[in-house]
Structure 1
C-alpha cells in the first residue's frame, strides 16, 4: 500500500478510530480517547491534504502559506497518534519559531535566519515525533537548511558547492564513504565510524581501503533523519560532504523551518516577495521555486509513511 492509499484508508471515522486505538494501547482510557479524537484526526489529515492539493493549483504568490498550513495540519494529526490530549495548552498553538521583523538592506533569503522558541508547535512536535529535545543551534540560516535536502544538491553543484555526496541506496545493506571525507571532517577513520554508529542500525562489517570506507549493515537501511537523507525520486542516500553541514535532525524539521520563513515573507514582505517572483533578481528564486515543488510532494509522502510505518509496527497489516 502506498501513502496516498493509506491516507484514503484513514478517511473514515471507523478506520481513524481503530488506528488511534492501536496507537493508544497501554495508555489510560485508550478506547474512549480514540473515539474522542477520531474526527479531529481525520479532519487534520483531510484538510492538510486539501491545502497541498490547492497549493499545487494556486499561484506561486500564495503557495508557501498553503503548503505551510498543510504541513501543520498533517503534523497535528501525527501528534494525535502520540499525544491523545494534544493540545494540552494554548501555548502549543504558536508556531514555535520566529524570523527577523525588519529585513536588512541587501536582504537575501539564503542568508536569512529563523530562531527557535522554547514553546509552541515546533519544539513540541520535534520532541514528541522525533525525540529532539535540544538542538545544536538557536538560529539557523536558509542556506544551511537547503544544504541538507538531497533534492537541492544539484543546484548547489551548479555553483561548485557540493553540499552532499551519494553513499548508497535506500534499503541497501552497504554504505560507502570516500576516504577523502575524513579530511573534511578532521577525523580518523575510527573516530568517523564512531560518530556514525548512533545513527545506523547494527553494523556487520567495516572495510577500509585507499578509496572508501565501506560499512556493511546487519539490516536494510532507509532514513529521512540527518545526517542521512534519502532523495525522493532516485532513492539514493546522501550524506553531508563537510562537517559544518552535519545536522542530525529530521528532514521534516528542515522543511518546517524553511516553509515557515517563506510563508512569513509571502504574508508580510509583499514588496520583496513580489520582486522575487516577477524580477527574479538573484539565486534566491530558483532555489525557492525548486524547494516549493519538492516540499509539496515530499512532506505528504514522508508524514504518510511515518503514519503507515506506525500502523505496520502495530502488526495490523
Structure 2
C-alpha cells in the first residue's frame, strides 16, 4: 500500500504544471512571501531533481555491484535537493552547501573493516543542512559515527545483525495497519525505566495514546490512527514487513531519521568504490569477511527504501 501510494504521487509530479502547483502549496504552508512566483521559478529545477534522482536509481538496478554505490549516492543527493526546494526556495543559499558535509578518515590498508569504520560530520555541506532543514536534527552533535551504528538504524538489517552479532538493535513493536504498539516488558530493563516513565517518554514520539495495558510480556498501547512512515527515530519502518520498529535498548536509542543513515553509508561506500578500488575489488570477488553480506544486503535494501522514504516526505507535505 505504501509504495503504490508514493509511486502514484511521484507520477503526479512528472509535469511542470503539477510540480508548480505542489511547490505553491508547500510555500503557502511555510508562509513564504511571493509563494506563487517562487513556485514558478523552481518548478523545473524541482522536476529535474526528481527525474535525475529516479533515473540514477533505476539505472543502479541493472548496474554491476562494482559501481552501484556511486549511482545510489548521487541519486539520493538529487532527491534530497528536491525535498530541500520545498522548504528552502533559494537553495543553495551559498556555495558551502554544495559540499557533501561529511568526510572519511584515512584508511589503513591492512585489516580494514567497513563495519568498524567511521565518518566525521562536517560543519558545512549537504548532510548537516538537510538534517536540520528536513528533520530538525543537529547532526553536528554526533561528531564521528561508526558504520555499525548506522546499520543499526535500518530495520531490514536487524535480522542480519542478530545472525552475526547475537543482538537485535531494532525490534518489531507493531504492524502499520493494526494501530497498536506492543513494547516488550524487557524494554523496561534495557531502558532502566519504570513502566510509567517509559510510557511517558514514548508518548513524545507517537500519536496520543488512547488506551494502555500491561500483559504478561508486553506494554500494549492503542493509537487513534496509523504512525506515518515519515516519522523519524526512535520510530523506524520496515518496508518489507510494513511494520514499526523501535530501538531495543537505551544504547540504540536515536532521534535520527533513517534517511540520514542511508546517506552516510552510501557516501562512505561511494568513496571506497572510487578510491579504494583494491579493497573494494577484494570484497566483491574474494568475500573475505563479514563486511560483504552487510554491504550487499544494504545496497539491495536502500535501492527501494530511500526513494520510498523521500517520496513519502514529499507526499506527506501534500
TM-score by length of 2: 0.94
Q: 1:28 to 1:135 in 2, by over 3 A?
A: same
CA distance in 2 between counterparts of 1:218 and 1:115 reads: 40
CA distance in 2 between counterparts of 1:163 and 1:281 reads: 25
1:22 lines up with 2:25 in the alignment: yes
1:248 lines up with 2:258 in the alignment: no
What is the aligned counterpart of 2:14 among 11, 16, 37?
11
* Contact 2:119–2:146 (CA under 8 A) maintained in structure 1: yes
Instruction: Give ranges in structure 2 of 5+ residues lacking alignment.
Output: none
SS in structure 2 of the partner of residue 230 of structure 1:
strand
The alpha carbon displacement at 1:211 in A equals: 1.7
* Contact 1:226–1:250 (CA under 8 A) maintained in structure 2: yes
CA distance in 2 between counterparts of 1:78 and 1:295 reads: 18
1:193 lines up with 2:196 in the alignment: no
What is the aligned counterpart of 1:221 among 212, 221, 227?
227
The alpha carbon displacement at 1:104 in A equals: 6.1
The count of residues paired between Structure 1 and Structure 2 equals: 311
SS in structure 2 of the partner of residue 203 of structure 1:
coil
Residue 115 of structure 2 is matched in structure 1 by: 110
The alpha carbon displacement at 1:74 in A equals: 0.2
Task: State the superposition RMSD in angstroms.
Answer: 1.5
CA distance in 2 between counterparts of 1:59 and 1:134 reads: 32
Residue 205 of structure 1 is matched in structure 2 by: 211
* Contact 2:121–2:140 (CA under 8 A) maintained in structure 1: no
Residue 155 of structure 2 is matched in structure 1 by: 150
Residue 314 of structure 1 is matched in structure 2 by: none
SS in structure 1 of the partner of residue 210 of structure 2:
strand
Q: Deviations over 1:127-173 (max 9, x none)?
A: 11111135652111111111121111111222322222111011432
CA distance in 2 between counterparts of 1:124 and 1:141 reads: 20
* Contact 2:234–2:256 (CA under 8 A) maintained in structure 1: yes
Q: Deviations over 1:179-225 (max 9, x none)?
A: 12211112222222222121111112221244211122233223441
SS in structure 2 of the partner of residue 281 of structure 1:
coil
CA distance in 1 between counterparts of 2:276 and 2:177 reads: 43
1:43 lines up with 2:48 in the alignment: yes
* Contact 1:172–1:221 (CA under 8 A) maintained in structure 2: no
CA distance in 2 between counterparts of 1:242 and 1:199 reads: 16
The alpha carbon displacement at 1:275 in A equals: 0.6
Residue 130 of structure 2 is matched in structure 1 by: 125
The alpha carbon displacement at 1:309 in A equals: 1.8
Matches within 5 A, 1:176-191: 176-191=182-197
Instruction: Give ranges in structure 1 of 5+ residues lacking alignment.
Output: 312-317
Q: Deviations over 1:54-106 (max 9, x none)?
A: 11111111100100000000000010011100000000000011111233631
1:67 lines up with 2:72 in the alignment: yes
CA distance in 2 between counterparts of 1:91 and 1:33 reads: 22
